[in-house]
A and B are shown apart, each in its own frame.
Chain A
């Protein structure tokens, strides 16, 4: 089955915002941003700018017609700095001109002076100073003190985890086109069309119905365009509103890297208690999240860290505390995994260190403590349809784990210059927005008179294949060829109040909504078919491969003519449907509930090789058994796993965000921030689909796929560690990610 999007991609005919023909008179925007990380603005003068030819407008906080506020969860984020700045890259003014070059040149003429204050970039330092985004949040179950007292071994330690740049290939961008009566249409590269609409309405001081957001596709999102596509889109609307002209803003790569937030760096303390035979009895952790200058989605992300603190394990006594620390960095934001990866990394570190202490391999502890059916997760949800042990055992068998261990052992005995290591990484990731209200979606399905179908949903296509999956759902439900089904843009006038396409839930929520809409139409069609056949039981009507059957017999009617007939008989060929995930809730007064519709499971086996002399490492193989439910599209799902794994490995190895003490990003380009290339991707990757996994919450029994496999990458860190320890058993003194070539060599030699 050919993926419609991919056909356009390979020809270069897929359109992204910067490819759209710009309307006549379009203004280009340059953003003037803060060069200091903390301080008050004492002077802001742009007289010189206005005399530059081509300049149409300069806009600062005081020109905003509505509210200068775009904060999503907490109202703490201005669109243009008003009097003070809190990070380097914070927008202060925008300049609109006839060309990009003129706008940029003019923005350079803005004169600004600051009263500079010391910047804080370290989350623990921010915590000591009392700079918090929100009060700390604690989840607990059982009695950790009792658990530790009953443990034979208790250890504690600290972990530091770096952030990660999304590096969606398409930078942030938007274009606004004014229409009559003050209406503005915004073409945005956003995962949250409604967030853009809401923020633009607020900043412009108009009702939401004056703003239409339209999203064709994104050149990658990964969470980076969930909340942070909004400011740029709002800026285009603002210029459009104040000048009456269309306006466009595409961030340059360096602007994007400097001004937008990233995956949150964390610093954490953990304590773990185990029985002599490796049963985990108690676990306690405190997470210092580096939130950056504003809340953005940080509190929700931190909460997911807590939800995933125990990964795939059952632990009877758990207490976790999350602290969102306010620092002078761009607001950090959603990124594939949404805080889950950091939580799991700390858990895996605790197990790794405990294994060392107990003198057993970490995988023995991992395996021993895997979740079992009906185990209670520490936030109150009962684990159901658990696949943790199945995935683990199948991975061990399918990929010959024991032989792998033996081969690596032999290699290490024979080689001085190179060492290998193996690690396993089980995952358990909860599916659903943990803000339960977001678990809703709508779809609008149109069957046209020629039998072709147009589908609108709230889902945004960003490469994850959601469009192709929904197309499958629709074509399977109607039993018509996939070519007949076209996915429309995501548009707030067709589908309102969209939840962001995030939390891996795009296909689940919108696929289910589309399914409901199709069924509505199908029911009308069946009734009509029965009537036209002068039969009385619509339930006996069936459409199979575009042919109409009654009671199992062909009727001679085919889809196209049948639809045309239905139209002439005034049958409603369009349907809007709404889906809300059943049974999910979370009570924040006790931090207990059933926040997830279901969980996704899997296990990866990772083998790494380290060049001891040069301190360079490679991932040799990643072997995965993953629980996809009943996959709607195996190619799409496989691609999601492979892409996520490589991104996860990148996060923990080569992707290093470097800032100086003043909060300036030094890894500010693709020549200094490195993501995996074809040679650094694992040499071999095998993904096995777990068979017979049912999921009543997913459309056609499928499971969500976007985020969970990202966390297999955590195994790469420990595989490399294991290889390093073959040369120097003390190489793991410090657990600090990413494990760059620099850190590998320095650790091998016990240097800081």
Chain B
């Protein structure tokens, strides 16, 4: 018999306070649809891949409620504790809101099953952008799939919306008022801050720690892999206890394990430390998933193709694990075998640290998948190098999809140091990389393809970073 794992939870759903007993590892989507019978939020894939279940999550940070969109089908309900959850019903007003009006105007819905998700994600754009830029709307709806429209009418609605709604105040609090005035969000949003403050005062802390429990962070991988099994398990919900931070100390960049992908990419510290990192951003998951998924989660799930892991490997990152004691381990040594990591059950990845690179540093991330966006890589790879005068001083090359674990290609890495950049070097490094990998054929591609692809992507690193030193035409 499963043990009784019911837990009390308090949060705000649209304009209502929720006090409920829930299985903490059940999903927010099931709660919304089945318990609350708010059926505008749809279930399509249950794995974060379509956005039909999109909701907004408002979180009180420094006196301001900030909203982001998430996919509720893989969002553990326990993570909603103390937050404001907004479904399509919570965006409805007496008459059509501004976003809805433009979707209707362009007939930007056919069967309608995807539509509420698109409306919710579009609302996220307005909440988090004061400037008007249609590309940013597309980022917000990047995780929303529509099978009917071909996106034409949705793009037209977005373009017209952006042209219609003026720029908003930069200040988040002022922006909420502005958005209410423009009929984008309903008025009750203004009362949420006080309500959340009241809830948070009574919030309790789980004193027992992680022992014997499934450690759940964003849940974006766990709930795809084993949602049914987890239903009756107790969880340790990292996000409710761990602080999120990205800081710089003594020449190092320090990230909390609970840092979400989106926080990572939006961080000024990261943007200055890693040139070109914004290029990786669009290739990784969707905004809704990036809003939930954490770095520690990506690392610990040990997927051989974890995108963030591949990036951090190239940066020679270290992990600080916290269990009974605290210990440090290089990320590349963390992986033992397929889905096996050097971590005790109750250990948590508390911090991820890498040295802030200095002058002459170049970075590039490459990924090819069946679909360029919101897809899992066939092969991904990151390259970090210090170079001057056409000579590589030191470099790290990491790759995923080519071995049971995400990997630093050490032989290639060592070989490169001190070498002059030219086409011959490129061919040699591809050859070395090829000799140390062991891809398998699966649904993401044949072994031969992955082999070929890694070589091409290594070439891409060099062409992106050092095209002036290469004969590009010959290199491809």
Contact = CB atoms under 8 A, between A and B. Distances in A.
Chains A and B bind each other = yes
B147 A680 contact: no
A745 B150 contact: no
Interface in A377-418: 416-417
A746 B47 contact: no
A613 B476 contact: yes
Contacts of A751: 448, 452
Contacts of B41: 12
Contacts of B448: 746, 751-752
Nearest to B448: A751
B175 interface: no
Interface centre among A3, A220, A222 (most CB of B within 10 A): A220
A221 B378 CA distance: 30
A740 to B, nearest CB: 6
Contact of A639 (B149, B371, B476): B149
A8 B473 CA distance: 54
A568 interface: no
Interface stretch (B96-104, B187-195, B337-345): B96-104
A646 B151 contact: yes
Interface string B27-70: 00000010001011111111101101000000000000000000
A647 to B, nearest CB: 7
Residue picked from A462, A642, A681, most chain B C-beta under 10 Å: A642
B370 to A, nearest CB: 5
A612 B463 CA distance: 13
B110 interface: yes
Interface string B159-176: 000000000000000000
A92 B463 CA distance: 56
Nearest to A668: B443
A10 B449 CA distance: 43
A647 B452 contact: no
Contacts, number: 237
A613 B96 contact: no
B460 A643 contact: no
Nearest to A3: B107
With a 10 A CB-CB cut-off, give which of B37, B148, B369, B452 has the most chain A CB atoms.
Answer: B148
Contact of B443 (A217, A638, A658): A658
26 contacts: A3-B104, A10-B96, A11-B88, A12-B87, A18-B39, A168-B113, A169-B42, A169-B111, A219-B42, A219-B112, A253-B46, A614-B457, A635-B106, A639-B107, A642-B150, A642-B152, A667-B443, A670-B44, A677-B374, A678-B144, A678-B146, A679-B372, A741-B368, A741-B378, A745-B456, A749-B452
B258 interface: no
B453 interface: yes
Interface in B90-124: 92, 96, 99-100, 103-104, 106-116, 119
Contact of A745 (B42, B148, B453): B453
Contacts of A465: 110
A709 to B, nearest CB: 10
Contacts of B246: none
B375 A417 contact: no
B393 interface: no
Nearest to A10: B100
B322 to A, nearest CB: 31
Contacts of A462: 111
B141 interface: yes
A569 interface: no
B109 A9 contact: yes
A511 to B, nearest CB: 18
Interface in B255-291: none
Contact of B142 (A7, A220, A654, A677): A677
B88 A220 contact: no
A290 interface: no
B366 interface: yes
A685 interface: yes
Nearest to A644: B150
B164 to A, nearest CB: 16
B279 to A, nearest CB: 13
A2 B104 contact: yes
A252 B446 contact: no
B78 to A, nearest CB: 19
Contacts of A360: none
Given A10-B115, A18-B43, A612-B476, A742 B445 contact: yes
Contact of A169 (B50, B99, B442): B50
A114 B140 CA distance: 49
